[in-house]
Chain A
Amino acid sequence: MADLKERIARRCAKEFKDGEFANLGIGLPTQVADYIPEGVTVTFHSENGFAGIDAIATENPDVDIINSGGTYVTTIPSVKFFDTAESFGLVRGGHVRATVLGAMEVAENGDLANWIVPGKKVAGMGGAMDLCSGCPEVIIVMLHTQKGAPKILKKCTLPLTAEKCVSKIITEMGVMEVREDGIWVTELHPDYSKDDIQAATACTLHFDPAMKAMEEA
């Protein structure tokens, strides 16, 4: 499982170009930062108040610097701190080019559900709704299924975080793009066949004619 998650994080790290500004969610998305290729500098947004997150502060943390999960972190030399209004102005304004998040469900039209399960303990959306509706690109990183049940569906059953927002899905099985006419597989991992990935998905997948083997960093 850890290996599969590392595979997903490594592949996602290739999505970024030098100089970009992006947001990583808590959990698997955070790991993506560890695999950004040499020579590529991405400024990572911490929506609670700065651009330029570096790493978890393991000792003598600055108690004025936490990330959005409440963990003490360090920052890069070019960091800019800001308040919540400015932070989400950057998000809604489309200046944070991409957000990487996990998902409970993704629909074939790009609808995303990742914030609430009715009847379960309520956590709240935090900044997820703003990020998903504001960022030009929403990249979902997740295991393809949950205890064998597909998470990529024809229609979400859970309340949405944002509608038609997902542009790309990266799982251990492959890389998929959400297009006007549905979900297209652009990379398939060599461990799986077209039938395998389709069987693990609850909507019809399209296979891009230029589909290639899933690359890892």
Chain B
Amino acid sequence: MTLRKHRWAFLALPNILLLMLFFIWPLLYILLYSIYTYDPFQIFIRKFTWENYVKVLTNDLYVNAIFNTFQLAIIVTFFVIIMAYPVAYYLARTKSKTEDTIISFMILAPVLISVVTTSFSWVILLSPFGTLYRILNALNLIDGPLRIMFTKTGIIIGLTYGQIAYMVMTLRSALSNIDWSLIKAAKVLGASPARAFYEITLPLSLPGVFFGAIVTFSLSLSSFVTPYLLGSRLVKVMSIFIYDNIVSVYNWPLGSATATVLFIITTILLGLITYIFEKRLFGWLKY
């Protein structure tokens, strides 16, 4: 048989087994627990019910959290794209290799530091009487305590901070892949540099923007540490609800249902969007 030919496939076995046993299978636990009933004493009873999902999808607090989560993710993605694009453009165009390496390093370094540390730093800076307060107070621009922490603004700042690096690298890659002779062609046909950018570079970089945005959006939706620390549980997003239900209240069924909803939104929905867009919108990419 072809067993001899395919014996190398066994190399992948450890990975496959590991994922099946400790990744796929546990995920099913969430699905299972989400339809159990909550019990304050036993945590859950093996009685099937839809009430958890009903709560997640209709209860005001939860619907609000879903809305918050989306809103934050959209705003963050928007800002990340705007802030990252020029940097990516500069990186893609720079002729000096040393500058490229140095800037790349400086952009990616903050990302490899744990997210607690960077969020902690923003807490220090954005605290009601923290650094930013002191600066604005010295300039007489503010009277009372600074109201950025415990609000969505603080979370937006923190999340944007964490996502810029990835977007820069993705966009930079997309921009470098644009055939330089296309710009030259546009120029000899009379396009000014600005026009060439608008008509050629920008449209051709859109697939990169799109895929980077998907990742940023998805990571922002499911982000936990940053919203927790900067919103200090006053701003409710889905991941915080999951945490509260599981770790504080021990309502595992409800937490599981919340997690399932988050999972469906993030993974399946975004995966689907990506697939559709890839097929329909960027057909000209496949040349």
Task: Decide whether A and B are members of one complex.
Answer: no
The residues of B with any CB-CB pair to A shorter than 8 Å are: none
Q: Which residues of A approach B to under 8 Å, CB–CB?
A: none
